[in-house]
Structure 1
Amino acid sequence: MPISAPPSPRRAPVRGASAVRPVPSEVPSRAAPPRLRPADREVLWLYLMTRVAVWTTAYCTRWLFPASGDARVPAPVLSSFEHWDWGHFLNIARDGYFPGGPGPGDNREAFFPGLPLVLRAVHVLVPHWTVAGLLVSLVAGAVAAVALARIAELHLPGSGAGRRAALFLLVSPCAVFLAAGYSEALFLAFALPAWLAARRQRWLLASALAAGATTVRISGLFLAAALVVLFLTTLTTRTTLPTRTTKAARTALPTRRDGGASRKRDAAWLVLPGLPALLYFWYLYGRTGDPMAWKHAQERGWYRHFRAPWEAWSQTWHEAFDRTQATGYAAQFQADLLAMVLGLLLLAFLVVRRRWPEAVYIALTLWALGTSYWYMSVARSTLLWWPLWVGLAVWSVRRRWVAIAYLCLVAPLSTALAITFMSGRWAG
């Protein structure tokens, strides 16, 4: 699958800083495409090929890296995906949050109920729990890949940026978690279409999808905050069109709805993403008397106590480089440090470019991850930073060497991390 497409003969390639940067009002028609477009099918083909790569890695891992060095029979290939957080999601879906009565237990209340609810529903038709979890992630990942590609195409239409953004996400170092029965794929399957709907000013749909994202992860509240900022920018941003915009493209752009009643109605929908979180807190209060039991479970199980950002950085650095941890854990702390630096650079870029909604989302995410006892799963959270993948895609269109450099850099990292996770070692 090629990573770039030749420019259309009727449109010059977009290069340099002079390219028009779209504002939130520069979006396609409000009417969503009724079916998959050719570009979407290309992204799905790319998605399918990366899934084949993941399963090839899983097969090889079971043969080459068995739990016992003298094993004669490899473990079942499905066991490659039955590690770490999957156990918590499985226990919640199968037994609920408090099977033995209210109490700390195994801290499973730290995980939001969205994925366990979907997993339990799919299990009705798919009896094997692991297969059900993998199926959820397979479908959700496909939705997320197409939505990400469409978001990227809003920035550089017809440039192939959408396909590149999907590719960069699907081969990123932590991409194995999109294939496992984890919550990242399902979160993106709600969050990215929500963002796409908001860019089209379809606020009810955007809010409903963001509510779905909030059932899956607390990050849905960060998305909700970004949607509020995006909504405010649509009220204050004056529509400006590129000089090369055709008459047909101009008529396809949504009109500004300046009626006060419609604006208030759209604004009212933005409270929807907060409702799932409130309902979950209310449920925890009814079972434990503590509406923040999910937070306290994270503190008990994963040391997510609040600390100043510089203290969290210092502790993570200590664990990464001062030989206090086994090498495997130390390497993951190093990856989290690198991911935090990358996130701060991304945030600075978004602020400089005045991409305020995306900046709010990234800033809240970094604050949540960077104020714990130490960094944990920061590298994995890069999967949820869609501005990163869109930005890389746009940059690679303007600078062709970026795609080659990125792929050469992440290919060994992605393979190593996939093998680490599939062999049962801690992978973030």
Structure 2
Amino acid sequence: MKLYSNINIIFTVWLASLLLISYLGFSTLPHSGKFSNDFLSSFSNWDGGHFLAIAQKGYQENFQYAFFPFYPMVIKTLTQFTNNFLLSGVLISLLSFYFGLQILYKLIILDFDKKIALKIIAALAFFPTSFYFLTAYSEGLFFLLVVLTFYFLRTNKLFLATIFAVLVSGTRLAGLAVVLALILEVQLTRGINKKNWFVLFSPLGFLAYVWFLYNQTSDPFYFLTAERYWQRELVVPIFGFWDTIKNVTTPNFLTSHFNPVLDLLFAIFGLGLAIRSFRFLPISYSVYAFVSIALPLFTPTLSSIPRFLLPIFPIFILLGLIKSQFLNLFYPVITLMLLSIFTVLFFNGFWVA
């Protein structure tokens, strides 16, 4: 695979900056006290610890079934060579992000010039929650599998697209948005026929997890039950927005409800761009973006949406197409500031997304 030097520079600057910011913040600023005071351990704060626990011992607690299995499986496999679960988790994230950027660049230049492509790559790399690509979270692997699926879809290599769609559907529930986009694109542009019928097997990763849950718990959709431990039971989408708006209207929202405010702003930002994508991008991109944003809106809380936006590459394509000089200056200033703050908060044990 051809590697692009400009992307290497962006990735190197991103990695060096986040390592420096996270270490300086960890060394000099207060911690939450919820996790170890070891800097290296902070790479698995919050959900990262659950991914590592599943990789080590399997599903030991009911709430862990909310985490899909493919990322822990890859961690466990790599650990046979590294002998360190945390190192494996972080390496998978970093390598996935690096190669994901390379594939995304190749995907973008199918439609746009190289200057716009690099602008899109930079918009993603320095998004306020991009530090998750540096941690033991599934974001990096999921991102790589998503862009591989779409790249092979766009280059008419449907068998490879299907293989990566199978893997992505076993990595996160949002992988079903990729599956839907793939099947819809094939149906609309070629029609499902005897030459491409295998795309219908793209949700096989999800179905394998459903079968596993049935054997373990007698409930094939137990991951939905497990989501309740994380305040993610199904509700009408407006409820999450309404609860957050109520928090915003309280007198002390900046101190006691700051996270929900950010969640609301990021949700509006992502949903707006996803809807706008139907005017400017291929239908498969727009369907993927819209369904990915819509899924977390069916829960009582908008928590984690700033992180969920990371793998939704179509919204970053739209950001790269912005021509306003003011917005092109304003966006980097705001995102770099938020990225620095969020990185320090996460590594110091505070909840971000």
Pick the TM interval, shorter chain: over 0.9
Quote the offset at 1:190 in angstroms: 0.8
Do the aligned residues in 2 keep the contact of 1:161 with 1:394 (CA within 8 Å)?
A: yes
Q: Which residue of the partner structure matches residue 43 of structure 1?
A: 7
Measure the CA separation in 2 of the matches of 1:36 and 1:361.
Answer: 27
| Number of equivalences | 351
Do the aligned residues in 2 keep the contact of 1:225 with 1:361 (CA within 8 Å)?
A: yes
TM-score (norm 2): 0.93
Of 67, 90, 103, the match for 2:52:
90
Quote the offset at 1:288 in angstroms: 0.8
Query: Is structure 2 residue 288 aligned with structure 1 residue 352?
Result: no
Q: Which residue of the partner structure matches residue 58 of structure 1?
A: 22
Quote the offset at 1:399 in angstroms: 4.5
| CA RMSD of superposed structures (Å) | 2.2
Measure the CA separation in 1 of the matches of 2:149 and 2:72.
Answer: 21
Q: Which residue of the partner structure matches residue 27 of structure 1?
A: none
Q: Tell me, what secondary structure is at the counterpart of 1:107? A: helix
Do the aligned residues in 1 keep the contact of 2:32 with 2:348 (CA within 8 Å)?
A: no
Q: Tell me, what secondary structure is at the counterpart of 1:155? A: coil
Give the partner amino acid of 2:42.
S
Quote the offset at 1:303 in angstroms: 1.4
Q: Tell me, what secondary structure is at the counterpart of 2:82? A: coil
Measure the CA separation in 2 of the matches of 1:322 and 1:271.
Answer: 49
Q: Which residue of the partner structure matches residue 223 of structure 1?
A: 178
Measure the CA separation in 1 of the matches of 2:252 and 2:206.
Answer: 37
Q: Which residue of the partner structure matches residue 95 of structure 2?
A: 139
Quote the offset at 1:320 in angstroms: 4.3
Quote the offset at 1:354 in angstroms: 6.5
Instruction: Show the 5 A alignment for 1:168-317.
Output: 168-235=123-190, 264-299=193-228, 301-317=229-245
Q: What whole-Å deviation, never above 9, does each CA across 1:244-270 have from its counterpart, x for those lacking one?
A: xxxxxxxxxxxxxxxxxxx62443121
Q: Which runs of 5+ in 1 are unaligned?
A: 1-34, 99-104, 237-262
Measure the CA separation in 1 of the matches of 2:126 and 2:62.
Answer: 33
Instruction: Show the 5 A alignment for 1:120-159.
Output: 120-157=76-113, 159=114
Q: Which residue of the partner structure matches residue 102 of structure 1?
A: none
Q: Which residue of the partner structure matches residue 331 of structure 1?
A: 258
Measure the CA separation in 2 of the matches of 1:139 and 1:282.
Answer: 30
Of 341, 347, 351, the match for 1:422:
347
User: Identity of counterpart residues, as a percentage?
Assistant: 23
Quote the offset at 1:369 in angstroms: 1.0
Pick which of 225-234 and 132-141 moved more. 225-234
Give the partner amino acid of 2:187.
L
Q: Tell me, what secondary structure is at the counterpart of 1:67? A: coil
Do the aligned residues in 2 keep the contact of 1:146 with 1:166 (CA within 8 Å)?
A: no
Query: Is structure 2 residue 57 aligned with structure 1 residue 114?
Result: no
> Measured at CA, do residues 354 and 393 of structure 1 come closer, stay the same or move farther in structure 2, by a change above 3 Å?
closer
Quote the offset at 1:231 in angstroms: 1.5
Measure the CA separation in 1 of the matches of 2:146 and 2:194.
Answer: 21
TM-score (norm 1): 0.77
Give the partner amino acid of 2:263.
D
Bigger helix fraction:
2
> Measured at CA, do residues 399 and 116 of structure 1 come closer, stay the same or move farther in structure 2, by a change above 3 Å?
same
Measure the CA separation in 1 of the matches of 2:82 and 2:319.
Answer: 38
Quote the offset at 1:131 in angstroms: 1.4
Give the partner amino acid of 1:345.
G
Q: Which runs of 5+ in 2 are unaligned?
A: none
Quote the offset at 1:351 in angstroms: 2.5
Quote the offset at 1:133 in angstroms: 1.1
Quote the offset at 1:400 in angstroms: 5.0
Measure the CA separation in 2 of the matches of 1:194 and 1:380.
Answer: 21
Give the partner amino acid of 1:91.
A
Q: What whole-Å deviation, never above 9, does each CA across 1:271-290 have from its counterpart, x for those lacking one?
A: 23211111111111111111
Measure the CA separation in 1 of the matches of 2:154 and 2:13.
Answer: 29
